[in-house]
Amino acid sequence: MLNAKIPAGPLETKWSKYKSTVKLVNPANKRKLEVIVIGTGLAGASAAASLAELGYKVKAFCFQDSPRRAHSIAAQGGINAAKNYQNDGDSVFRLFYDTVKGGDYRSREGNVYRLAEVSASIIDQCVAQGVPFAREYGGLLSNRSFGGTQVQRTFYAAGQTGQQLLLGAYSALQRQVALGNVKMYNRHEMLDIVTVDGKARGIIARDLVSGKLERHFGHAVLLCSGGYGNVFFLSTNAMGSNVTAAWKAHKRGAYFGNPCFTQIHPTCIPVSGDHQSKLTLMSESLRNDGRIWVPKKKDDNRKATDIPEEERDYYLERRYPAFGNLVPRDVASRAAKERCDEGYGVGASKMAVYLDFAEAILRYGKIEAGKKGDDNAGKEEIIKLGKSVVAEKYGNLFDMYAKITGENPYETPMRIYPAVHYTMGGLWVDYELMTTVPGLYALGEANFSDHGANRLGASALMQGLADGYFVIPYTIGNYLADELQTKPIPLDHPAFVETEKAVQDQLDKLMSIKGQHSVDHFHKALGKIMWDKCGMARNEKGLTEAIGEIQALRAEFWQNVRIPGSQHEFNPELEKAGRVADFLELGELMCKDALQRKESCGGHFREESQTEEGEAKRNDDNFSFVAAWEYKGPGSSELHKEALTFDIVHPTQRSYK
């Protein structure tokens, strides 16, 4: 029976009561305890720095050459926090409410309220670290709007918020490295979890430079390894982003929660051909000022600037007048797909819509002219002034778009289309962020806990830092307080020997195949199956077909993949092969999960379950639960259900009209 360990009592006091009554580890004892942290993005770097600051001995692992390369830098637009600086009606409760509603009522109230509650502390922490958040004229921190809300609560640093927040966490981490409290292992990849008597007690890691396998002990292991969006091959994720750490934990007993809940981001540069290895995200912050539209006439081949205003369909503003261009990501993505499928798409592929800043440029230009007292400014001057304001707020994003497409977004609307971005599913964790394996925790995007079926924009950074800075430092002590008598387990313990042998056997097997096709060949084939049949829209027939196709593809992979080089050297193809092998297993589970969830909710859109207006239609009577899958062997899983209860926010049909 799954126990989420949600504290009793009123929602507003659950976290404070928990912190006041949780078991503690005194400072002298913390120095005797070792914690392993896998991944050094926002969740991992903040957790490693915080735990080391408390006195624990921390080992941190990242497969990049530096934690600064973590994919957290790609979250450009901002970070949410309920500070109500704009005095526009925001509050902790409203952030909690928006998040539960935005996730289509498929997340835990207790976890989400805690996230909203600690959000304000994150901003204070980051400001103290020197994160250069944008400020208003008077010096107060600035806010802007993101999807799914009617208030301005998103703090930002131009269009590089994730990078600046990561530099803050990285600085805190490096301080602890210099003090000797954190031992960094760069260019190391975790390939398995070591369990002793059912508890996580260490890992097997591969030095990616030498190819050598290493054993590492820890009293607890934290997985902060991000999401699994690259199962689709083309996504906004960095090429190295993978599911291996989480999947190996799953195969060691950690349940996988809601694997089919993946997020499609509506604001990405469209696919331009088969040559691409990834897609580029244009921050959701652009929807704060940009207007999205398509021509009213099908197959309209005119330039965007040649299409007059009366012949443009601002379809989000038309369909969702209350929220307009700031509807949640799943709603905006499906609306764009619907317009393109109906023949209103733009660009050479006709699989794109316009994101237009012309009106914002004029609006900002008039404001700037007014500041100067120039009531007679001409249109050319107004446009010039407006462009300078837009450049200040979004300049690096506009520059990136221009470099990739060769088009000037200040002069002509951007072309955008939805793409895989974030995964709401992940390892199942309880309120303490512990998986079903004692001593094994999952933080940030690696767990399933806070976003339900759809994540609101600017909440990924919020969750990663909340988990690392403000949640795990309390909750891990509740477990480690009972582990004080556990001495470091010798690395020649049978559990370490057996686990390393299993890892070595898989590496040997991969290298021995010597087939005909590259790793990317199989990854692309898997990605196409997943996008076509488990992407923005799913149906029973397609999902059933996908499961069979993935099984066949996996069998072919293990017979016909070609990996050049040796395992005893730097070998990126071998790294990729192991990750794709895991994706080939995960993909099947995602389709199984999507097949059993016979409802539409958030980013999971079953075509058989929609309203007359084409919106997602939930089935609360039968599917108000977290799907937690237990690994039972190759291609075999057992479904466990954690019932979701809503005492405060009662589920209703979502409406953004």
Note whether 44 and 167 are within 8 A (CB): no
What CA–CA distance (Å, rounded) separates 189 from 253?
20
Residue 290 tokens, joined: 């940009």
Helix (H) or strand (E) holding 201: strand 199-207
Residue 133: HSE in the Cβ half-sphere, 13 Å Cα cutoff? 25
Instruction: Choose, from 201, 215, 329, 415, the residue flagged as catalytic.
Output: 329
Note whether 358 and 413 are within 8 A (CB): yes
What CA–CA distance (Å, rounded) separates 65 from 323?
42
**CA trace torsion 85, 453, 478, 473 (10° rounding):** -40
Give 221's strand partners: 36, 440
Cβ count near 145 (within 10 Å): 24
Note whether 78 and 285 are within 8 A (CB): yes
Closest-CA residue to 96 (of 84, 79, 108, 78): 108
Closest-CA residue to 229 (of 586, 597, 576, 635): 586
What CA–CA distance (Å, rounded) separates 235 from 247?
19
Note whether 437 and 254 are within 8 A (CB): yes
Q: Which amino acid is at 281?
A: L
What CA–CA distance (Å, rounded) separates 367 from 372?
9
What CA–CA distance (Å, rounded) separates 59 from 125?
23
Residue 230 tokens, joined: 């690259």
What CA–CA distance (Å, rounded) separates 200 from 222?
10
Q: State the burial class of residue 147 (Cβ atoms within 10 Å of its Cβ: 0-12, 13-18, 19+).
A: buried
**Is beta strand 220-223 parallel, antiparallel or unpaired with respect to 34-38?**
parallel
Note whether 655 and 630 are within 8 A (CB): no
What CA–CA distance (Å, rounded) separates 398 from 269?
12
- Grouping H, G, I as helix, E, B as strand and the rest as coil, residue 118 is helix
Active site residue 597: no
Note whether 4 and 430 are within 8 A (CB): yes
Report in angstroms the alpha-carbon separations of 542 from 324, 338, 423, 501. Answer: 32, 19, 21, 38
Helix (H) or strand (E) holding 310: none
Cα–Cα–Cα angle for 464, 96, 257, nearest 5°? Answer: 55
Give 265's strand partners: 419
Residue 232 tokens, joined: 């689709």
Helix (H) or strand (E) holding 441: strand 440-442
Residue 117 tokens, joined: 């509650």
Report in angstroms the alpha-carbon separations of 573 from 36, 518, 619. Answer: 26, 9, 43
- Grouping H, G, I as helix, E, B as strand and the rest as coil, residue 419 is strand
The greatest distance separating any two alpha carbons of the chain, rounded to the nearest whole angstrom, comes to 82
Residues tagged active-site = 329
